[in-house]
């Protein structure tokens, strides 16, 4: 994974309770029993033949099964995660219904060395979270995206 690049969209909304963000809980067996550090901005990898922005739009739709919201886009920059992946993100205001999400899937051998290929959702849950709660759950390197969004939002 070292050197991989990923891009995504952080959808946000303003409510009577303050700023909320839409995060997804990573699917598959590695994250099934974890909460802290297992939530992410909807994102995915891309290669040199695609721009980060195009990848963010594509991956949002692939991971959530919904088109990205229209609206003013706020660049959130990039971060480097502990595994070496560089993540670039943008924020956009929207109000999606998590119940409408139809996540994409991936296939992997599970259990390891069993020869059995199983299919898992990319994101097994999607929820609106306060920025405070999101900070407790999000992949640690991605927390800076929450800070950058908060700086931009009134």
Q: What is the pLDDT of residue 152?
A: 87
Q: Is 28 left (phi over 0), alpha (psi -120 to 50) or beta?
A: left
Rounded-to-integer distance, Cα 5 and Cα 3, Å: 7
Structure tokens at 33: 């029993």
The set of residues, in sequence order, having a beta carbon less than 8 Å from that of 79 and lying 6+ positions away, is 86, 87, 141, 142, 144, 145
The whole-model pTM stands at 0.93
The answer to whether the beta carbons of residues 100 and 18 sit under 8 Å apart is no
Average pLDDT over residues 31-39: 94
Average pLDDT over residues 17-41: 95
Q: Residue 61: pLDDT above 60?
A: yes
Q: Residue 116: pLDDT above 70?
A: yes
Instruction: Name which of 65-69, 85-89, 99-103, 150-154 the model is least confident about.
Output: 150-154
DSSP assignment string, 83-151? TS-EEEEEEEE----GGG----EEEEESSTTS--EEEEESEEEEEEEEHHHHHHHB-GGGHHHHHHHHH
The answer to whether the beta carbons of residues 85 and 112 sit under 8 Å apart is no
Average pLDDT over residues 67-96: 95
Average pLDDT over residues 130-154: 94
């Amino acid at each position: 994974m070292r050197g991989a690049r990923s891009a995504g969209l952080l959808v946000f909304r303003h409510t009577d309770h303050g700023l909320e963000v839409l995060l997804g809980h990573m699917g598959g067996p590695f994250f099934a029993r974890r909460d802290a550090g297992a939530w992410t901005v909807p994102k995915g990898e891309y290669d040199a033949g695609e721009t980060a922005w195009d990848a963010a739009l594509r991956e949002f739709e692939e991971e959530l099964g919904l088109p990205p919201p229209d609206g003013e886009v706020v660049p959130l920059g990039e971060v480097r995660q502990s595994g070496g992946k560089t993540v670039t993100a943008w924020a956009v205001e929207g109000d999606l219904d998590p119940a409408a999400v139809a996540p994409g899937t991936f296939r992997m051998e599970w259990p390891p060395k069993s020869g059995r290929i199983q299919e898992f959702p990319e994101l097994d849950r999607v929820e609106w979270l306060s920025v405070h709660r999101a900070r407790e759950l999000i992949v640690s390197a991605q927390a800076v995206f929450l800070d950058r969004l908060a700086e931009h939002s009134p």
